[in-house]
Amino acid sequence: MATASSTVSLTLPRHRVPMLAGALVVLGALLIGVVFTANTGLLMIVGGLLGMVLYHAAFGFTSAWRALIIKRRGRGLRAQMLMLAVAVVLFFPALGAGQLNGVAVEGFVAPLGISVLVGAFLFGLGMQLGGGCASGTLFTAGGGNARMLITLVFFIVGSVIGTAHFRFWTELPALPPVSLVDVGGAYGGMAISLLLFAVIAAVTVVLEKRRHGELEHPPLVARRGFERLLVGPWPLLAGAVALALLNFATLALAGRPWGITSAFALWGAKGFSLLGGDVTQWGYWQSPGNAAALDASVWGDITTVMNVGIMLGALAAASLAGRFAPNFRIPLRSIAAAVIGGLLLGYGARLAFGCNIGAYFSGIASGSLHGWLWAVAAFAGNMLGVKLRPLFFTGEAAQRPVAKTS
């Protein structure tokens, strides 16, 4: 009895912050639903769930790619292939039909050009220096990582700078947008995509077994059932499936897939305008959609609403796990990496028509070949970023790629 009562007394305080975060998500969803649209309000709840999934499953794109580059461990990348496979199975029939439950839907399909190559490479480099991708920056900052707040601030700054140069980069040579849904039909495109995912997963298995002799086992977790669901950690593969389902929910509610970084550009542009700057003459802000977003309330922007939801969801998850403990004692070199990485992340995302979510996850889920081009260029940027990490970090965080052993 003493053990049970002590457990209750220790866990009850953890519930205060999650309850507050959850209340803010629900209240925000209601207010936004009333003032704007019901679907926009519901997307805040979807964002909150995304934040919880990302945090509890520790679903990191940056760490997964670094583990493959340095240690030849492919568990994280295989989880990404499962996530993409589930998304493709859900997305392609809807995109092929052009509607979902009577709502018109379209994917993220962009040109294949120099801007994507350069932007994705810079983004990949920024992932390793900044310490996260777009989704990673949001959920770790929301979960209490003070350093990632620095990355987020400069992510926003880099996004605004990217909009200033957007026209120059997008006028460079490029092939027109290509979608596998259009090329092979919904099911033909699905078959091609699933084959590619299987090949990538198989390559990671070969690389990992060649280095280690066996595949990495998931960590053992003492928690079970409802306690694990509430407190975490969640199985990585469960997180992969949940992210695909929530992206599909986004498609159903918003008429387009999940994205993150367009909101950063919008926040930065509005902030710059408050300081007396004028972005309206920049090419990015002269497209009808972006110009309308610039003139409207930021709370009417779907991506903004979801981003806020992600941070609140991650805050709730971190507090439930007892891990919300911001540390503001950050080494100067680590701060420098966060600043440089954030700028590269923001700038690269604008050039490449998206980030690891908008271009890689949602782009490939949309059948866009630019998503595959983004993945290749970003992975190359990650390889360079891993080599540069020792300039800014020490210990485990600074690991370089090691030579292959037989």
pLDDT at 397: 61
Contact 358, 259 (CB under 8 A): yes
Cα–Cα distance between 64 and 55 in angstroms, integer? 14
pLDDT at 30: 97
More confident residue, 28 or 323: 28
pTM above 0.85, yes or no: yes
Instruction: Calculate mean pLDDT across residues 54-64.
Output: 94
Instruction: Calculate mean pLDDT across residues 35-45.
Output: 97
- φ and ψ at residue 179, rounded to 5 degrees: -120, 135
Beta strand 174-175 with 103-104 is unpaired
Nearest to 77 by CA among 236, 214, 190: 236
Cα–Cα distance between 160 and 266 in angstroms, integer? 8
pLDDT at 32: 97
Residue 281 has pLDDT above 60, yes or no: yes
SS3 state at 173: coil
10: confidence class by pLDDT, cuts 50, 70, 90 = very low
What are the domain boundaries of the chain?
15-398
For the chain, what is the mean pLDDT? 92
Which residues have a Cβ under 8 Å from the Cβ of 135 and sit 6 or more positions away? 50, 54, 59, 61, 260, 310, 355, 356, 357
First to last CA, the chain: 54
166: confidence class by pLDDT, cuts 50, 70, 90 = very high
Nearest to 138 by CA among 306, 368, 276: 306
Residues 324-346: pLDDT tens digits? 878 889 999 999 999 999 999 99
Measure the CA angle with vertex 150, ends 163 and 29; round to 5°: 75
The DSSP secondary structure of 205-257, one letter per residue, reads HHHHHHHHSSPPPPPP----HHHHHHH-PPPHHHHHHHHHHHHHHHHHHHSS-
pLDDT at 4: 38
2: confidence class by pLDDT, cuts 50, 70, 90 = very low
Residues 213-240: pLDDT tens digits? 999 998 888 888 888 888 889 999 999 9
378: confidence class by pLDDT, cuts 50, 70, 90 = very high
Residues 283-325: pLDDT tens digits? 999 999 999 999 999 999 999 999 999 999 999 999 988 888 7
Residues 380-392: pLDDT tens digits? 999 999 999 999 9
